[in-house]
Amino acid sequence: MSAYRPRILVIDDEPQMHRFLGPALTAAGFEPVRADDGAAGLRAIAAGAPDAVVLDLGLPDMDGKDLLKAARAFYVGPVIVLSAREREAEKIATLDLGADDYVQKPFGVGEFLARLRVALRHKLERVGAEATVVAGDLEIDLVRRLVTRAGEPLRLSPKEYELLARLAEGDGRVLTHRQLLTAIWGPAHADDLPYLRVLVGQLRQRIETEPASPKHILTEPGVGYRFMR
Amino acid sequence: MTLDEPRRPDPDALLAEAKKAGRGRLKVFLGMAPGVGKTYEMLAQAARRRAEGRDVVVGVVETHGRKETEALTPGLEILARQPIDYRGRTLMEFDLDAALARRPELLLVDEFAHSNAPGSRHPKRWQDVAELLEAGVSVWTTLNIQHLESLVDVVWKITGVRQRETVPDVILSKADEVEIVDITPAELRQRLAEGKVYVPETAQLASENFFKPENLTALRELALRRAARVVDDELIGAMRRAGVAGPWAAGERILVLVAGDGMADQLVRSGRRLAEMMDAPWTVATVERPARPPPSAAALARINDAMKLAEQLGAPTVVLTADDITGAVADYCGKNNVTQLVIGKSRDSLWREALRRSFAAAMMRRAEGVALHIVTERSAAPAGPSLAAVVAREPHAWRSYLPGLGYVAVATGVALWLDRTFRASDLGMIYLAAVLTAAVLQGLRPALLAAGLAFLVYNYFFLAPRYLFVIGSPTDVLTLFVFLAVALVTGFLAGRVRDQQRATSRRAAAITSLLAASRRLSASAVKQDAATALAEQAAAATGGRAMILLPEGGEIVPVAAAPAMTELGAQDMAAARWAWEHGEPAGAGTGTLPSAGWTFWPLQGIGKRAGVAAIEPQPQADAESERYVLALLDQGAIAIERAELAAEASEADALRRSERLRTALLNSISHDLRTPLAGVLGAATTLLEYGGELERPVQDDLLESIRDEAERLNSYVGNLLDMTRLEGGGVAPRLQSTDPRDVVTAAADRVSRRLGQRQLVRDFPPTLSTVPADSALLEQALVNILENAVAYSADGSRIEAAVYEDQRNVVISIEDEGKGIPTHQLQQVFERFQRLSESSDRGQGTGLGLAIAKGFVDAMGGRIAAASPIHHGRGTRILISLPKEKPTPHWLL
């Protein structure tokens, strides 16, 4: 079997992280590439064009934000950020700058690989984006701007639809508050978090079976929201 | 200004009203004489209030055994009185503190003018009441008109009785309500006769003296007039508050001029009466004449008393400074629109009056448009100090006459020697020189004596007829007059120069010592030092003892004294507390707790009250030295306040540092606990999910990584525990004779697995002294240092552990070839949570290792130091030096 093994670049300065990420990625069918600091990581992205990048925040030589900014100039593939909880601000900043997802340390390998697969699938499918997103009995027709639940059309306000469409397009990817606010209300309202909270609440009322414990629109506390099928 | 501008309430009136808010209300039951039924009326009204369910408490009520009055007290809560021991007797006094603690809505305090027993907080009951009002307790009280300060003279004239117990007028005018309790004089005499006022014998005596019908009528008129005035005041106040325009300003303004003679008090009271009559504002002034010799102590005291009285009666006081009295007063009158001037004319002896131009006459010429009131002295006024008294005050004055006599004797000797060469008239010059010398050096009176003596001796020895006291010619008389005139003029001038000189030097001395004190005070960075300096300076300035009390935990406690002492009596502490709480002087010489042995001055800083200074009162203290002490205390207060602020700032600094430390601790825990955990969790989950698919060596490596990370965690937790033990002082090293080489070897073994490709080289001497050390602690310290060396150096580099000894110490040296430590950070490497490159939490160690090493080495009495770079700009060397054991004497071996 000579299936294509996506190459995953892991940029982390802690040797013990590589010690288990390497075997885990290999076992999950990926090809791990190791970089021990930011400079080496950047070189590896430029030269190796990996299928995805796993970036640890808190590298000794470089700010994660700077690295991502530099990389985004020539790299469009998915980036997953590894972060400790106290690096909240930097994590959100990297997401805003175009990181696709994040995993909080310490983490189980299962969760990490699941996130990686979502990010990869999303990137791979982006070219011919799905016209319809199906999540349980919920169907979102992104072309006809039509949302139905169990075949019944749902009446959404334009803003509600806009939010749902953005989240559904993300498809499992976390979208930061800032990204959503900018997409729906424009850059002038990038910090008006209350708008978003109210709108998310309304949308959950419309599409969730149990708005109090949502299944589709999940909150990432302090970061943003993600859509799960 | 437009005509129909809306009438606005007078802001002053509103302000006065606002000031009253929160204060208790004062109601005075005013009567013309004892026995009119004030207390009865007060109690009757109080009983009604009580019946309405109000909180009425009797603070103190004197029923004088009157039955109807006593019948009213049941049903009212009565505060227990406070026993005060005074000269073997126990006086039952009103308990102010109990009243303040009880805080009733309304308190009855009988006999407003009562003087408290010595040892009470305030000398007068009206001061107690003032404090109650301030505290928000409403008070009802009773007062007879004869006790009003400004009426003391009038009542004396009417009744021949001089009241000792007085209440300042201003207190009564501040009363919110005055109710007159009035019966006719005939009725009162009837009640007196019936024994309702006094017991029969006293009543008999009283009805013949104080209670004469004409007295009562006059007193009644005074009382009614006073009550009417209060009503008037209320009306005017109400109108002003409401903004009603009205013709109340008659435009009259009264100035009372007092001097140090016996009339000062009388003038102030006259001024007050005039002010009442005219309903005009009044001011009391005195004039200081800088060019004149200062007034006597007695005169100063009289002026001070008169000024105090004026303030009690509600008049502002001013001190004018000028040599030309009439000019200064006329100027003040012009500038302040004074229309009425009250001056006194004392009964000077006739010749003095003839010599001195009448002040009244001069004033009349200078002050235009001012009505002049001249008050003549009452004959009964106390006489001024007698000559005997003056002499008595200068016990050693006679000594100053001796040099004068000496000069004359010397002059006589010289004159006798020159007798043959010069004419007698020329020899007079020598005596003149003697008189001049006496005048310049000894002053006026010795000079006059010398002049008289010189004339006599000169006359006796040199003027014809010689050796006889005979005035032979008119020239001799002229000589006498010349001598006397020279003595007078020179003596007077020299005296003035001397006075000025003395004043100048006194002032210069005061300024110099104030400067010195201020330097000392400002040099005190610590509160305690500032307090000590202030106590010493104040003691030096007053010549008595001084003590500084500062607040500590809500109480005010003595912190410094000069000369040293620590305790104050209970009475003194009470006065100190009062001064502290009220911000006003208390204790000896003040109106509050005057029986205390010290005077307590609040130390008022810029922002807040810093403390209280206790100064032992000195009998010889004058106004000038008091001013100096007050200036000193002001400076001291500021110095103490500044020291306090500095302490607060450094406390805030310490807090910031500990805040930083806490942040560092949190970061350290978050990073140093989580990183190994991430490794453990990651490796474990990898094994769980893909264990079957992994090859054997990979599986082993993952398991090893779990073990390594768990060990890392364990060592980190161990470090935290060690640090906690060090912080809590829980490290008690068990010092035993130890060979450092063994400990270094053990530590090196412990870190060997973490060395990677690094090479650990040992350099031990073949023989080595032992050290008293706790090998476990030393090993942990060395492990920490070695781990640090591993963490900060590259794979393949060398780490050298060397041991050597010098005269007194054994030194362990650990060197690496890492990046080294920047010089400016060398100092901090032994601080907790200190990592190189603060910006990242990616440091290799926990940030605790070297701090713990230092803690352990310190605990064993050793020293630890860092040096970097050590060669070619790289490398770090950590040195541990431990004192050698005293060698065992060879004869014991």
- Of A23, A59, A107, Cβ closest to residue B702: A23
Tell me, what's the pLDDT at B796? 86
List Cβ neighbours of B233 (8 Å cut-off, separation of 6 or more): B173
Out of A100-114, A197-211, B596-610, B837-851, pick the least confident.
B837-851
Residue of B670, B694, B841 with shortest CB distance to A27 = B694
User: What pLDDT is attached to residue B556?
Assistant: 86
- Radius of gyration from C-alpha coordinates of chain B: 45
What is the average pLDDT score of chain B? 79
Please judge whether B705 and A14 are an interchain contact, meaning their C-beta atoms are less than 8 angstroms apart: no
Are A27 and B702 within 8 A, CB to CB? no
Q: How many residues does chain A have?
A: 229
CA distance B758 to B800: 10
Q: What percent of chain A has pLDDT over 70?
A: 94
Cis before B563 (ω within 30): yes
Minimal CA separation from A1 to chain B, in Å: 15
Res. B232 pLDDT band, cuts 50 70 90: low
Dihedrals phi, psi of A218, to nearest 5 degrees: -105, 140
Q: Does A1 touch chain B (CB under 8 A)?
A: no
CA distance B170 to B233: 13
Question: A8-17, B212-221, B386-395 — which is least confidently predicted?
Answer: B386-395
Looking at the partner chain, which of B693, B701, B841 has a beta carbon nearest the beta carbon of A19?
B701
Q: Which residue has the tokens 């006359």?
A: B459
Whether the CA torsion B731, B736, B741, B746 is positive or negative: it is: negative
The answer to which of B196-205, B388-397, B425-434 has the lowest mean pLDDT is B388-397
A1 pLDDT tier (thresholds 50, 70, 90)? very low
Strands, E assignment, A58-141: 79-83, 101-104, 132-135, 138-141
At B766 the three-state DSSP class reads coil
pLDDT > 60? residue B802: yes
The whole-angstrom distance between A106's CA and the closest CA on chain B is 4
Across residues B818-831, what is the average pLDDT? Answer: 80
Given A59, A84, A110, which is nearest B685 (Cβ)? A110
User: Does residue B313 carry a pLDDT above 50?
Assistant: yes
Q: What is the pLDDT of residues B509-557, one digit of tens each?
A: 777 777 777 777 777 778 888 888 888 888 887 778 889 998 887 788 8
Q: For tokens 């729906």, what's the residue?
A: A184
- Highest mean pLDDT of the ranges A82-96, A205-219, B10-24, B563-577: A205-219
Q: Can you state the angle between helices A64-72 and A38-48, rounded to 10 degrees?
A: 20
- DSSP-derived secondary structure for B444-511: HHHHHHHHHHHHHHHHHHHSSSTTS----SHHHHHHHHHHHHHHHHHHHHHHHHHHHHHHHHHHHHHH
In this predicted structure, what is the pLDDT of residue B40? Answer: 86
CB B164 within 8 A of CB B53: no
Interface probe for A, chosen from B672, B686, B712 (most Cβ of A below 10 Å), is B686
pLDDT at A86: 67
Distance of CA B472 to the CA centre of its chain: 71
What are the pLDDT digits (tens) for A183-193? 889 888 888 88
- Cα radius of gyration (chain A): 18
Please judge whether B674 and A84 are an interchain contact, meaning their C-beta atoms are less than 8 angstroms apart: yes
Residue B10 confidence (pLDDT): 60
Q: pLDDT category, B396, cuts 50, 70, 90?
A: very low
Question: CA separation (Å) from B612 to B521, B598, B845?
Answer: 16, 12, 54
pLDDT digits (tens, 9 = 90+) for B331-388: 888 777 788 888 887 665 445 555 556 677 777 777 777 888 888 766 543 333 333 3
User: Which pLDDT belongs to residue A65?
Assistant: 85
pTM value is 0.42
Higher pLDDT, B782 or B391: B782
CA–CA dist B693, B684 (Å, integer): 14
Q: Report DSSP state, residue A86.
A: G
What is the per-residue burial (b if ≥16 Cβ within 10 Å, else e) of B584-599? Answer: ebbbbebebbbbbebb
Q: Is A106 on the interface with B (CB under 8 A)?
A: yes
Look up residue A81 and give its amino acid: V
Q: How far apart are CA A152 and CA B202, in angstroms?
A: 113
pLDDT digits (tens, 9 = 90+) for B688-741: 888 888 888 888 889 988 988 888 888 778 877 887 777 777 677 888 888 899
Whether residues A106 and B683 touch (CB distance < 8 A) is answered with no
CB contact under 8 A, A23 and B685: no
pLDDT in tens, A171-180: 778 888 988 9
Give the chain B residue nearest A26 (alpha carbons). Answer: B694
More confident residue, B603 or A3: B603
